[in-house]
Amino acid sequence: QAQPVESGGDSVQAGGSLTLSCTYSPYITRGACTAWFRQAPGKEREGVATLYHATPITFYESYAPFVEGRFTIFRINGKNTVNLEMNSLSHNDTAIYYCATASNIPKDACQRRSPGDFDNWGQGTQVTVSS
């Protein structure tokens, strides 16, 4: 499978918004998962949000508690692209954001947001939030 490709990372001020994009393999279809992770300096990689591809038109979202209500993950209709819309950003959101995919994965595993369940990773895109 082709490696996911992220874009959209930038420097923003606290309280601002940013949208990241992930273009993934067209082979990611039914029963697959697309996820956003992040890793801040000196910290472990953590799951941010996932999108479970139940069918070509049915998707299920999950979010880490620390982004619930601020971030939204969604697929662009007709495209192999999943965006992460981030609002009310704070300094704590500063990190490299990675897109990852997994094929043939159960829904509960997708929503667990564990890095070990994903086998295809992008190079990452830097998000910096200044106070």
Name which of 112, 101, 118 is nearest 27 in CA terms. 101
44 Cβ contact list (under 8 Å, min separation 6) = none
pLDDT in tens, 72-124: 999 998 899 999 999 999 999 999 999 999 998 999 999 999 999 999 999 99
pLDDT in tens, 41-55: 999 999 999 999 999
Is residue 46 a contact partner of residue 38, using CB atoms and an 8 Å limit? Answer: yes
Distance of CA 48 to the CA centre of its chain: 6
pLDDT in tens, 17-34: 999 999 998 888 889 999
